[in-house]
C-alpha cells in the first residue's frame, strides 16, 4: 500500500542519515562530548569585585553557562542588589562582603568558598582593580601602596590561598583582569600600568609552575569599557575622541564583550590555552599609525 511504501522510504532515509552520521563522526556521543566542552555545568567560580561593572557581566556570563558562582565585593549595598537580581533570574550565585586589600578578609573569603564548594574551586577570576590617573611625578607613597595592594597583592594572595582548592578540583583555571595599559603605554597611569603588566607576567609564571597541578592561568586585557567606573573618562570629549581615534573599531567595549572571553578561557574547549595575555580592545594595541585623509 501507499502507507507501507512511505514507511519503507522513511526507514531507508533514516538508515542513510545514520550512515552519514557514522561516516562523519556525528553521533549522540559526539554531541554530548561537544556539549561538555562548551558547558560549565557542575563547575564553580569565585569572582572578585563581581557586584558591578565588568565583574557583574562576568558573573552573568558564567551563570549562563551553568556554573555556580561566589562573588565578593566591597560594597554591601551593590552586592545585595546584585544577589537579589540574580536570584530572580534563577542563577546560582552567593556572595560575601570583602575588602580585598585586607589580608585577613582575603583569608576569610577563601575559607567561605572552601566551605561552600566542599574544598574545591574550578575558577578564580581576579577582577578587582583601581586607577588613580596622574602624571608619574605627582604620585605619592599612598597612591603606590593603594594600587599595589588592590591590583597586585590581592590577586597574588588569592592565587596562593586558592591553589589547594583549584588543584583539588582537577580542573583549575585562573583569569586575571589586566588592561591594555599593561601591554602598551597609556598616558596618566604608570603605577596602574605596572600592576597590570605584573599580572600578565604572573599569569605566565603560574601557567608554567602550576600546570602539573591541572591549573591554567591567563590574563584578559580590555580597552576602555563602558562601565560606571569609566564614565568620567568617556564624558571627557577630547579624551574620548583621541582614544577612539586610535581604536580601529572606533568605540569602547561593552562589558559582555569582555566577559565572553573570560568565560571562554575557563571552558573545557579552551583547555590548551594557558599563560596568555589576550587583548579585548577593538584593535587598540595593534594599531601603530592611523591616518584618515581629509575628504
Dihedral of the alpha carbons of 195, 201, 207, 213, in degrees to the nearest 10: -60
Q: What is the DSSP letter of 25?
A: T
The CA distance from 108 to 159, in Å, is 14
Which candidate in 139, 171, 192, 272 is catalytic? 192
The CB density around residue 147, as the number of other CB atoms within 10 Å, is: 24
Return the C-alpha cell found at 183: 601591554
Residue 280 near residue 261, CB atoms below 8 Å: yes
H-state helical runs in the chain:
2-23, 28-37, 53-64, 76-89, 103-116, 141-147, 154-169, 190-209, 231-235, 237-245, 255-266
Q: Which of 277, 273, 141 is nearest to 199 (CA)?
A: 277
Inter-residue long-range contacts of 186-191, CB under 8 Å, 24+ positions, other chains counted: 188/133, 188/134, 188/135, 189/131, 189/132, 189/133, 189/134, 190/136, 190/139, 191/132, 191/139, 191/143, 191/144, 191/147, 191/148
Residue 247 near residue 228, CB atoms below 8 Å: no
User: Does 291 participate in catalysis according to the annotation?
Assistant: no
Active site residues: 192
Amino acid at each position: 500500500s501507499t502507507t507501507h511504501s512511505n514507511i519503507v522510504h522513511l526507514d531507508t532515509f533514516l538508515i542513510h542519515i545514520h550512515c552519514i552520521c557514522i561516516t562523519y563522526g556525528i553521533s549522540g556521543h559526539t554531541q554530548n562530548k561537544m556539549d561538555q566542552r562548551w558547558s560549565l555545568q557542575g563547575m564553580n567560580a569565585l569572582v572578585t569585585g563581581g557586584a558591578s561593572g565588568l565583574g557583574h557581566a562576568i558573573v552573568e556570563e558564567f551563570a549562563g553557562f551553568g556554573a555556580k558562582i561566589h562573588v565578593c565585593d566591597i560594597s554591601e549595598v551593590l552586592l545585595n542588589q546584585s544577589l537579589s537580581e540574580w536570584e530572580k533570574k534563577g542563577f546560582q550565585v552567593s556572595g560575601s562582603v570583602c575588602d580585598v586589600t585586607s589580608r585577613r578578609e582575603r583569608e576569610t573569603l577563601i575559607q567561605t568558598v572552601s566551605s561552600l564548594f566542599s574544598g574545591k574551586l574550578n575558577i578564580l577570576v581576579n577582577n578587582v582593580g583601581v586607577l588613580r590617573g596622574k602624571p608619574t611625578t605627582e604620585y605619592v607613597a599612598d597612591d603606590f601602596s593603594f594600587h599595589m595592594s588592590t591590583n597586585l597583592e590581592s590577586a597574588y594572595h588569592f592565587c596562593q590561598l586558592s591553589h589547594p582548592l583549584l588543584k583539588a578540583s582537577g580542573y583549575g583555571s585562573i583569569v586575571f583582569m589586566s588592561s591594555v595599559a599593561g601591554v602598551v603605554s597609556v598616558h596618566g597611569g604608570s603605577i596602574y600600568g605596572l600592576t597590570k603588566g605584573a599580572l600578565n607576567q604572573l599569569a605566565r609564571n603560574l601557567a608554567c609552575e602550576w600546570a602539573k597541578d591541572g591549573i591554567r592561568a591567563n590574563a584578559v586585557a580590555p580597552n576602555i569599557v563602558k562601565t560606571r567606573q569609566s564614565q568620567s573618562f568617556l564624558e571627557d570629549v577630547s579624551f574620548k575622541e583621541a582614544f577612539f581615534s586610535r581604536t580601529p573599531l572606533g568605540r569602547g567595549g561593552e562589558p559582555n564583550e569582555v566577559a565572553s572571553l573570560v568565560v571562554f578561557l575557563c571552558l573545557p574547549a579552551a583547555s590548551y590555552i594557558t599563560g596568555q595575555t589576550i587583548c579585548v580592545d577593538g584593535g587598540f594595541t595593534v594599531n601603530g599609525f592611523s591616518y584618515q585623509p581629509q575628504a
